[in-house]
Structure 1
Amino acid sequence: MPYWLMKSEPDELSIHDLQRLGETRWDGVRNYQARNFLRSMQAGDAFFFYHSSCPEPGIAGIARISRPAYADPSALDPLSHYFDAKASVDKNPWSAVDVRFVEAFARVIPLAELKLQSALLELPLVQRGNRLSVMPVNSAQWTAILALR
C-alpha cells in the first residue's frame, strides 16, 4: 500500500478538525506535480497529516484516503480561495480527494526533528527547496516516522 504526506495549514484544516469531522474533502492543491500525486492515490492509502505555515510545522497524525481523485469543485467556485477562472465543468485541471481521520499524535513531530533522521534524508519534505503539499513516502520512511511519535 502506498504512503503519502499531505500538508495543510492548521488554521484551514488541522488534524483535530479532521478528527472532529471524521471525513472531509482535501482540495485546493494548485501544483501540477502535487495534483498528479493526488491522482495516484487509492482509497485506503494512508498519509501523514502535516501542519504547515504555523509556529511549529510538523507531522500531527495519520489519515486515509476514503475516495480517490475527482474534479476539484473549489476550482469552479468564484467565492473559493482556490477558484481558477480558467477551469470549467468540462475542463477542470484540478483534483481533490476525500480523507478520513485515523489518529492524532500525542505531539507534533517537528520538521527540525525529521531533518535529523538519517532514514529520512531522501524524503522530499526534508530536502532544501521542496515545497510540495503532497508527496510520496516509502515504507522505510513511514516506519522511521512512526518510531518518532
Structure 2
Amino acid sequence: MPPKKKPRVRKASANSGKIVDAEETSAAGGKRKAAAPDAKTGKVSESAGSPVFARWLMKSEPESRFENGVDVKFGIEDLKALPNQTGCWDGVRNYQARNFMRQMKVGQQAFFYHSNCKEPGIAGVMTIVKEAYVDHTQFDKKDAHYDASSTPDNPKWSMVDVQFQRMMKRFVPLWELKEHHLQHRANGGPLKDVALFTRARLSVQPLTPEEFDFILSLEDKEPL
C-alpha cells in the first residue's frame, strides 16, 4: 500500500504534549536480522549491542490538538475506523524509539496507550502487520514532522503498520500502573523496571513478556 494513500498516525510524548519524542539517545539503527527472544525476558542481546524485544507499548493522542493547522488526534477508536483497522505509525523522531520500531516483527503485539490526555493509560491491543519502512512524513514540508536533514537517498526515520486487535476489557489508567510500579519496585514484581516509568518520555517502548502479561492481567481485576 503506497504510503501517500495510507492513513497517518501521529504520536506524542506523555510528558511534554509534543508530537516529537525527546531525543535521549542518538544511536544509529539499521534493520536488524531477526533474533529469537529469550522465553523469560523477551529479549536477546545481539553482538552489535542493543537487545531485541518482542512486545511493545506505543503512545498516541486521543484528544484534539492542532499543530501547523492539523489536528494530531489519533486514539484507538480512530485506528478501529480505518480500512482493515490498519494504519501506519508515523512521525516518530527519536532515535531510540525509531530503533525499537526497526526491531518489530510481523505478528508481535503492542499496547495502544492514550497519551497527553485527561486520563492517560492503556486502551487496547494492536498487532504489528508490516515491519519498518521509510516514513514519508519526513519529506513533507507541510508536515509537522518534516526533517530537512533527511533525504530520500538517506532517510532517517521509519514507521511500521499496526492493526487493531481488541479493546482492553477495561481501560487501565496510568495512575494504576504507577501504583503497581511503586509496589513492585519496593517488593519485587514484573513492573519494577517497566519503561513506562524508567524511560517515560519515549513514545515507543519495549516490554518483557512478564511486563506485558501482568499489564494484560489487570483488565480482569478491580482497580487498586
**In the aligned structure 1, how far is the partner of 2:168 from the partner of 2:77?**
10
What code does the residue aligned with 2:216 have?
L
Q: Give CA deviations for 1:81-108 in whole Å, capped at 9, x if unaligned.
A: 1111111111110001011000112432
Cα deviation for residue 139 of structure 1 reads 0.5
Cα deviation for residue 122 of structure 1 reads 0.8
Q: Give CA deviations for 1:11-44 in whole Å, capped at 9, x if unaligned.
A: 3211111111100000000000000000000111
Cα deviation for residue 131 of structure 1 reads 0.4
**1:1-149 alignment, distance < 5 Å:** 2-11=54-63, 12-21=73-82, 22-117=85-180, 118=184, 119-127=190-198, 130-149=200-219
SS in 2 for 1:87: coil
**In the aligned structure 2, how far is the partner of 1:76 from the partner of 1:5?**
26
Report % sequence identity.
46
What code does the residue aligned with 2:61 have?
E
TM-score computed with the length of structure 1 as normaliser? 0.94
Bigger CA radius of gyration: 2
- In structure 2, stretches of 5+ residues that fail to align are 1-36, 38-53, 64-72, 185-189, 220-224
| Contact 1:71-1:94 within 8 A present in 2 as well | yes
| Contact 1:61-1:105 within 8 A present in 2 as well | yes
What code does the residue aligned with 1:145 have?
I
**In the aligned structure 1, how far is the partner of 2:115 from the partner of 2:171?**
11
**In the aligned structure 2, how far is the partner of 1:66 from the partner of 1:13?**
18
What code does the residue aligned with 2:166 have?
E
**In the aligned structure 1, how far is the partner of 2:132 from the partner of 2:110?**
15
Cα deviation for residue 148 of structure 1 reads 0.8
Moved over 4 A (4+): none
What is the CA RMSD across the aligned residues, in angstroms? 1.2
The answer to which structure, 1 or 2, has the higher relative contact order (CA under 8 A, 6+ apart) is 1
Q: Which structure has the highest strand share of the two?
A: 1
TM-score computed with the length of structure 2 as normaliser? 0.64
Question: How many pairs align?
Answer: 148
